[in-house]
Amino acid sequence: MGLRLVERRVQRKGLRPRVAASVIALLWVVAIVIFGIVEHLVDERTFDTIWDGMWWATQTVTTVGYGDIVPEQTAGQVIASVLMIGGLSLFAVITGVISSMFVTAAQARRGVQDPVIERLDHLTTEVAALREQVARLEPGQSPGPSG
């Protein structure tokens, strides 16, 4: 259901960087809760309560890792690896989104157009001029688009 809601919003309004970052952050909050519960179930001796598991998962995702609670079981260490890699990618994506927003805002303020679009406009003008030259060389032929 949540995935359909996101999909409909993307189809309706497009995917904006802020929305993407919010969805990713929300998914990681859910992951912290789920992994915290799983860690408690996997290693009850180390993680006395579910809250201990979620505290540890939060530390791991954010790469803080105080070390006050550490998984002893292999399954817990695998979960920690997933959380660490996911946490790093979460911050990389959010940093990229924020950077993209700054660049887009700066370009909008300066009125800078996309260099690819500028190049395409230049090439379109050049192709039109070449078609006119070809049409002058071959009387009776129309210089309309081909292909």
Mean pLDDT of the chain: 81
- The 8-class DSSP code of residue 49 comes to S
Q: What is the mean pLDDT of residues 46-74?
A: 87
With beta carbons less than 8 A apart as the criterion, state whether 11 and 28 touch: no
Q: How confident is the model at residue 37 (pLDDT cuts 50, 70, 90)?
A: very high
pLDDT tens column, 73-102: 888 889 888 888 888 887 787 788 778 877
Cα 27 from Cα 93, distance rounded (Å): 13
pLDDT at 71: 87
Q: Is the pTM of this model over 0.75?
A: no
Q: State residue 127's pLDDT score.
A: 94
Residue 118 has pLDDT above 90, yes or no: no
* CATH architecture of the region 2-111: Orthogonal Bundle (1.10)
- CB count within 10 Å of CB 143 equals 14
Q: What is the C-alpha separation between 37 and 27, in angstroms, rounded?
A: 15
Domain borders along the chain are: 2-111, 115-142
pLDDT at 6: 66
Residue type, 104: T
Give the CA distances from residue 118 to residues 103, 112, 125, 133, in Å, rounded to whole numbers and listed in that order: 18, 10, 11, 23
Q: Is the pLDDT of residue 64 over 60?
A: yes
Confidence band (pLDDT; 50, 70, 90) for 72? Answer: confident
Please give the structure tokens belonging to residue 94: 């959010």
